[in-house]
Amino acid sequence: MEPTKIIFRILRFKPGRIDPPRHQEFELAVGPHTTVLDSLEQLRLEQDSTLMYRHSCHHSSCGTCACMINGVPRPACVTGVLALGTTAVTLEPLTGFRTIGDLVVDMRDFYADLSEEWSGLRFSEDRNGKRLPQTHPGFVRFENCIECGCCVAACPAVGDSDDFMGPAALAAIHNEMLKSPAKKTAILALADGERGQRLCRRALNCSRVCPTAVYPAQHIADLRQMVSAAEGDEQ
């Protein structure tokens, strides 16, 4: 198959130098399996060594390479260029994040409401399977969320208010509650706090863009039910 020529329109930003940000166009021939991240690598190595973007694992596990691809937040490493169906591909940093340079965003705000005490591990799906020997403690695995920030970038409520902790933190809160029932009261108070679920507008964008099937909107709905149930108990 012949390589296809694609125009990449990349929002460039270097504080004090390319400031305010502006789009720059690059042309690149891509193949049927070329991803957006492969393209960024090739552009950096062959056309502009000053191009900045985050990346690490290249298989949607680390969560570093998410950016706005034709206006939608997605991990660049698992986004095929030709699958986008456009001859020009626009790349911009994640909406609502502070930009450090080019496509690189500052993740500190994202982690502000993600406690380092919450576990990133859980029992694997096979924990309750009948086949494991009774003496086996059960297999463990990492949580689905890769902390890429796509859900936060897509959330209209985060965009309108710095106060909202956002869908990733609420999903993490719900997961932590399921794993550590003893923490339920304290952690539910966090979910129901001023930065919590009350600011969600049920747009469901978070679940639509999540690349790893976390479905944050479902977690938020579950939290909301628990909050109402707890209020019911009090009355």
Partner 1 sequence: MLEHIVIVGGGGTGGALAHDLTLRGFRVTLFEKGELLSGTTGRHHGLLHSGARYAVNDPTAAVECIEENQILRKIAPEALEQNDGLFVALDDEDMAFRPLFLEGCRACGIPAQEMTPTAALALEPALHPGLKSAVRVPDATMDAWRLPMHFFATARANAADIQPFTEVVGFQTRNGGITAVETVDYRTGSRRSYRCDMVVNAAGPWAGKLAALAGLSLPLQPGPGVMVAVEGRVTNMVINRLHPAGEGDIIIPQRRLSLLGTTLWLAQDPDVLSPPADQRRRIIDLCGRMVPAVRAAPARSVWWAVRPLMASGGAKDPQAISRDFGCIDHSERDHLEGLISVIGGKATTLRAMAETAADLICKKTGRSLPCRTRESKLLPYRRFYK
Residues contributing to the site for partner 1 (CB under 8 A): 14-17, 31, 33, 35, 38, 41-42, 45-46, 50, 52-64, 77-78, 100-101, 104, 107-108, 110-112, 114-117, 119-121, 124-126, 131-133, 136, 139-144, 146, 212-213
Distance separating alpha carbons of residues 17 and 15, to the nearest angstrom: 6
To partner 1, the closest distance from the beta carbon of 73 in angstroms equals 18
**What one-character-per-residue DSSP string does 35-95 give?**
BHHHHHHHHHHHT-TT-----SSSSSSS-TTEEEETTEEEEGGG-BTGGG--SEEEEEPPT
User: Which one, of 5, 55, 52, lies nearest residue 24 by Cα?
Assistant: 52
Contact indicator for 52, 64 with CB cutoff of 8 Å: no
Pairing of strands 4-14, 18-30: antiparallel
Q: Which of 84, 100 has the CB closer to partner 1?
A: 100
Q: Closest Cα partner for 153 from 201, 118, 105?
A: 105
Question: What would the two tokens of residue 163 be?
Answer: 């106060």
- Closest distance to partner 1 from the beta carbon of 132 (Å): 7
Return left, alpha or beta for 105; rule: phi > 0 is left, psi -120 to 50 is alpha, else beta: beta
CB 152 → partner 1: shortest distance, Å? 13
Residue 79 CB, nearest approach to partner 1 (Å): 10
Shortest reach from residue 31's CB to partner 1, in Å = 8
29 or 186: CB nearest partner 1: 29
